[in-house]
Structure 1
Amino acid sequence: MQTLETYFSEIEDKRRSEGKRYAQAKLLTAIVIAIMGGAKSFRDIDRFLSNNIDDLKQYLAWERDATPSHEKIRTFIGSLDFEQVNHAFCLWVNERIRLQEGDWVALDGKAMRSTLQDVHTPFQNFASMVSAFTHERNLVIDQQSYAQNKEQHEHGIVMQIIERLENKGLILTLDALHCQKSLVKIDELEQFYVVAVKGNTSRLFAEFKQLAVGEALSVFNSQIKRKNKQIESQVRVYPCRDWVSQNWASSKRMIVVHNKYLQNNGTYHHEYRFYLSNICHDNAEYFAKGIMQHWQIENKLHWVKDVQLNEDKSFIRNKNTAACYSVLMSWALNIARFNGFNKWKDWLARFANRIDRIVKMI
Structure 2
Amino acid sequence: MNGLSLLDHISVIQDPRQAWKVEHTLSDIIFLTIAAVIAGAEGWEDIQDFGEDNLEWLQKYGDFDNGVPVHDTIARVMNLISAKQLQKSFAAWMKDCHEATGGDVVAIDGKTIRGTYDKNKRSGAIHMVSAFSAENQVVLGQVKTAEKSNEITAIPELLKLLELRGCLVSIDAMGCQKDIAQQIVDKSADYLLAVKGNQKKLEEAMGKVFNSSMLNSYEGDKYSIQEKGHGRTETRLALVSHNPSELGDIEFDWPELKTLGVVVSVRQEGNKPAETMTIRHYISSAELSAQELLEKSRAHWSIEVQMHWRLDVGMNEDSCRIQREQAGENLAVFRHIALNLLTEEKTFKAGIKRKQKKANRSNAYLSQVLAGQGAS
Length-normalised TM-score, structure 2: 0.85
Cα drift, residue 271 of structure 1:
2.0
Mapped partners of 1:119, 1:273: distance in 2: 39
Q: 1:174 aligns with which of 171, 174, 182?
A: 171
In structure 1, the residue corresponding to 2:111 is in which secondary structure?
strand
Equivalent residue number for residue 366 of structure 2: 358
In 2, the alpha carbon distance for the partners of 1:335 and 1:109 equals: 21
- 1:69 corresponds in structure 2 to 70
Q: CA separation of 1:219/1:88 partners in 2, compared to 1, >3 Å: closer, same or farther?
A: same
CA distance in 2, matches of 1:157, 1:12: 24
Q: CA deviation at 1:259?
A: 1.4
Distance in 1 between residues matched to 2:231 and 2:162, nearest whole Å? 38
Amino acid at match of 1:244: L
In structure 2, distance between residues paired with 1:118 and 1:322: 16
Contact 2:117 2:321 in 1 (8 A): no
Q: Which residue of 2 aligns with 1:141?
A: 140
Q: Which amino acid aligns with 2:278?
A: E
- 2:82 aligned partner: 81
Greater Cα shift, 288-297 or 214-223: 214-223
Distance 1:267-1:313 versus aligned 2 partners, 3 A rule: same
CA distance change for structure 1 residues 342 and 167 in 2, over 3 Å: closer, same or farther? Answer: farther
Structure 2: state its 5+ residue gaps: 371-376
2:8 to 6, 9, 22: 6
- In structure 2, relative to structure 1, the CA distance for the partners of 1:216 and 1:18 (3 Å cut) is farther
Match of 2:286 in 1: 279
- After superposition, the C-alpha distances for 1:239-286 in whole angstroms (9 at most, x for unaligned) are 3453525214332222111111223682212222221112123x2121
Q: Equivalents in 2 of 1:93, 1:5: separation in Å? A: 12
Q: Provide the aligned length of Structure 1 versus Structure 2.
A: 356
**Paired letter, 2:168:** I
Q: How does 1:220-239 map to 2 (within 5 A)?
A: 220-224=223-227, 229-239=232-242
Please give the alpha-carbon distance, in whole angstroms, between the structure 2 residues aligned to 1:119 and 1:106: 34
Q: 1:254 aligns with which of 257, 260, 278?
A: 260
Alignment of 1:115-126 (within 5 A): 115-116=116-117, 125-126=124-125
Distance (whole Å) between structure 2 residues aligned to residue 238 and residue 222 of structure 1 = 19
Q: In the alignment, is the contact (CA less than 8 A) between 1:100 and 1:167 conserved in 2?
A: no
Q: Secondary structure at the match of 1:201?
A: helix
**Distance verdict in 2 for CA 1:344–1:245, change over 3 Å:** farther
Map 1:152-231 → 2, pairs under 5 A: 153-182=150-179, 183-210=181-208, 211=210, 212-213=214-215, 214-215=217-218, 217-224=220-227, 229-231=232-234
- Which residue among 55, 58, 63 is the counterpart of 1:56? 58
Bigger mean CA deviation after superposition, 136-145 or 348-357? 348-357
Q: Quick one: distance in 2 between partners of 1:187 and 1:103?
A: 15
1: CA distance, partners of 2:121 / 2:243? 44
Q: Amino acid of the residue matched to residue 238 of structure 1?
A: S
What is the RMSD of the two structures over their aligned residues, measured on CA atoms? 2.6
* Structure-2 separation of matches of 1:3 and 1:181: 36
SS at match of 2:51: helix
**What does residue 48 of structure 2 align with?**
46
Name the residue aligned to 1:291.
297
Rounded Cα–Cα distance in structure 2 between residues aligned with 1:293 and 1:134? 9
**1:9-32 deviations in whole A, cap 9, x for unaligned?**
221111122432111112211111
The answer to whether residue 353 in structure 2 is matched with residue 345 in structure 1 is: yes
Would you say 1:108 and 2:109 are equivalent positions? yes
- Paired residue secondary structure (1:268): coil
Residue of structure 1 in register with 2:100 after alignment: 99
- CA–CA separation in structure 1 for the residues paired with 2:265 and 2:148: 36
Contact 2:345 2:369 in 1 (8 A): yes
Identify if the C-alpha distance between structure 1 residues 144 and 226 changes in structure 2 by more than 3 Å, giving closer, same or farther.
farther
CA distance in 2, matches of 1:139, 1:27: 24
- Which SS does the other structure have where 2:198 is aligned? coil
Once the two structures are TM-superposed, the CA of residue 177 in structure 1 deviates from its matched residue by 0.9
* Separation (CA, whole Å) in 2 of partners of 1:98 and 1:194: 20
Contact 1:78 1:320 (C-alpha < 8 Å) held by counterparts: yes
1:186 Cα offset (Å): 3.0
Residue segments in structure 1 that go unaligned for 5+ positions in a row: none
SS state at 1:361 partner? helix
The Cα shift of 1:321 comes to 0.7
Letter of the structure 2 residue corresponding to residue 160 of structure 1: E
Say whether the 8 Å CA contact 2:6–2:90 is kept in structure 1: no
Q: Kindly provide the CA deviation profile for residues 33-87 of structure 1, in whole angstroms up to 9, marking residues without a partner as x.
A: 1111121222221221112223223x33443363222222111111101111112
Aligned twin of 1:328: 334
SS of alignment partner, residue 233 of structure 1: strand
SS at match of 1:300: helix
Q: Report deviation, 1:185.
A: 4.1
How far the C-alpha of 1:174 sits from its partner, in A, is 0.5
Moved over 6 A (4+): 118-121
Aligned equivalents of 1:328, 1:300: Cα separation in 2 = 17
1:29 paired to 2:39: no
* TM-score, normalised via structure 1 length: 0.88
User: Which amino acid is 1:64 matched to?
Assistant: D
Deviates more, 1:215-224 or 1:70-79: 215-224
